[in-house]
Amino acid sequence: MIKEVLKNLISETLEALSVSNPKVFLEHPADIGHGDFSTNVALVFAKELGMKPRELAERIKERLNLSAAERLSLERVEIAGAGFINFYLSKNYFANEVSEIIKVGDGFGKNKKRAGQKVMVEFTDPNPFKEFHIGHLMSNTIGESLCRLIAFEGAEVKRATWQGDVGLHVAKAIWGALKNGEPKNPAKWGKAYATGSTAYEDDVLAKKEIEELNKKVYERSDEKINALYDSGRKISLEAFEEIYKRLDTHFDYNFFESKEGRDGEAVILEFLKKAVFEESEGAIVFRGEKYGLHTRVFINSKGLPTYEAKELGLNRKKFEVEPDLSESIIITANEQSGYFSVLLKVLSLIYPAIGKKTKHLAHGLLKLPSGKMSSRKGDVITAESLINDIKKLVAEKIKDRGYDAALAEEIKEKVAIGAIKYSILRQAVGGDIIFDFEKSISFEGDSGPYLQYGLARAKSLLEKGKEAGIFGEGAEPKMPADWTTTPLEKLLTRFPEIVSRSAEEFSPHHLVTYLTELVATFNAFYAEGKIVDTANESASYKLTLVSAFAIVLKNGLALLGIPTPEKM
């Protein structure tokens, strides 16, 4: 990557001027007219060398190895302001990079930084007997994008989801089903859960009955309850698989509290003897205060393992099924950050190797303008309902475009999912998001459809170019002698750098910001003059840029998990 080569060249130059182990920061100027890269090293190291920053900048410029500079295709180096050094790359460099994009295609932007690593990412984590809501949609969108980014860096990625198919919420749902009749779909199971949850809070007798049910579910000691449980679990899991297909995600491992979670109880009892845990009022707890945290219960006073205990069984199981894991990443809402601070501390004490390799990544909440939802109260907003509501808005936008029913349905589905995923990924992981329905489906900018439409437009231009015989098989596009490098070319070459940063920082929003700027730059390029023009000798090279743009945008959208309709 040219950025790293240039950083090394600057570092060598500073060392020749007697700077020991210099750290070089290289960035893209905000104004593209101020060069392709800029560094402030002269301001950083001038005092150490007893020089004025601008004087040092001039010395650095003079001492740059010219032969190396030529290999880098540096057109010129300029000093600006108090001592910033700006580097301008040649137009031949950009022409070669555009050719490389087209040559590499779907692989453009990949690197091998994580080659040889195996990473497990746990995300989504929906609970059977409760509906797949927009919180799960947020986790799934972030998790799937991170999996794709990590894999793009050469790692083998294993996707996992952890599902609470036993526990008090299940008992509440089954209690509600016993009162109102067996539910036959996820929505009715959601209502059964809301019924049971309300009764648990408001009715002492119901609370006792639900706690008894919870024990029966866990022990599988009642045939009638078992049959109801098995039916509800099957309905839930089948519904989850359907939504995964729509979201273009999958899981290599489906972990369950009823299986992997049971192993946690033995772990607690083993490390109780080693004083990691202690008994308290009939329960077994971890005293987190010793480590600046808080106390959490791992086995309750009724002798049942809590979610915390089950989590220990899960995390041990991950490294049993994949013993050569380099890293285990858990993605949840930030509401669980306090919980995970304790859990990761416990892991570090009982399984140091696992604790060292496990990372918790917290995201914010996805909210609608109506406010926060609550599955306990029954006002949950399901992922399916949100997708379908967006599809209705998209239908209004395309109703006069003459698409047949099948194409219209494809566009509505892909645009709706793209709109939602973009809205989730456009900001840094961690903050809450208020979903804006109208903005999410805008074709004008800062939206998923805006990016999708940019790709559809590029593909249309390429088809017209092929029909006109000025691009495609047999054509030999060359940069015209009088060509001036465009902002589009400059942005296209930055894609690998953006992908790398997004993966290393677990921050897809960097890629979203880049792609949005890229499409805006492409639209400006498109507006500057006719592209498919047999009378213009630059037409073939322009279409080469369009092709490179389409490749980069398609690769970027794929990394975000945003689908790409052929037409808009």
Same domain, 201 and 326: yes
Same domain, 180 and 58: no
Question: In the numeric block, which tokens belong to residue 558?
Answer: 């794929």
- At 376 the pLDDT is 47
- At 16 the pLDDT is 87
Is 181 inside a domain boundary?
yes
Angstrom distance (rounded) from CA 8 to CA 97: 20
- Residue appearing with tokens 């890229």: 518
Q: pTM for this structure?
A: 0.93
Angstrom distance (rounded) from CA 320 to CA 301: 30
215: enclosing H helix or E strand: helix 204-219
Same domain, 69 and 213: no
Angstrom distance (rounded) from CA 551 to CA 558: 11
- At 375 the pLDDT is 47
Helix intervals (H) in 426-508: 437-440, 448-467, 487-492, 495-504
Is 21 inside a domain boundary?
yes
Same domain, 314 and 355: yes
Give first-to-last CA distance, the chain, whole Å.
35
115 burial (CB, 10 Å; 0-12 / 13-18 / 19+) is exposed
Question: In the numeric block, which tokens belong to residue 39?
Answer: 């560094």
Specify the CATH number for the domain of residue 68.
3.30.1360.70
Same domain, 83 and 123: no
Between CA 88 and CA 75, with CA 16 as vertex, the angle to 5 degrees is 15
Q: What 3-state DSSP class applies to 54?
A: helix
**What CA–CA distances, in Å, run from 546 to 438, 460, 472, 530, 549?**
29, 10, 12, 12, 5
- At 31 the pLDDT is 85
Same domain, 35 and 163: no
Query: Buried b / exposed e across 343-382, counting CB within 10 Å, b at 16+?
Result: bbbbbeebbeebbebbebbebbbbbbeeeebebbebebbb
Number of domains in the chain: 2
Same domain, 54 and 187: no
Q: What 3-state DSSP class applies to 255?
A: strand
Angstrom distance (rounded) from CA 374 to CA 257: 22
Bridge-based pairing state of the strands 118-122 and 84-89: unpaired
Is 405 inside a domain boundary?
no
Angstrom distance (rounded) from CA 173 to CA 191: 8
What DSSP string describes 524-550?
Answer: HHHHTS-SS-TT-TTHHHHHHHHHHHH
Is 444 inside a domain boundary?
no
- Domain limit, last residue, from 341, 367, 393: 367
Specify the CATH number for the domain of residue 151.
3.40.50.620
79: enclosing H helix or E strand: strand 74-80
Same domain, 285 and 329: yes
Q: Which residues of the chain have pLDDT under 50?
A: 373-378
Q: Residue 237: give the domain boundaries.
A: 118-367
Is 523 inside a domain boundary?
no
- Domain limit, last residue, from 314, 340, 367: 367
- At 72 the pLDDT is 64
Same domain, 213 and 292: yes
Is 112 inside a domain boundary?
no
- Domain limit, last residue, from 307, 339, 367: 367
- At 40 the pLDDT is 95
Same domain, 70 and 147: no
Q: What 3-state DSSP class applies to 225?
A: helix
Same domain, 30 and 162: no
Is 127 inside a domain boundary?
yes
Same domain, 76 and 153: no
Angstrom distance (rounded) from CA 279 to CA 282: 6
Is 437 inside a domain boundary?
no
Angstrom distance (rounded) from CA 277 to CA 319: 22
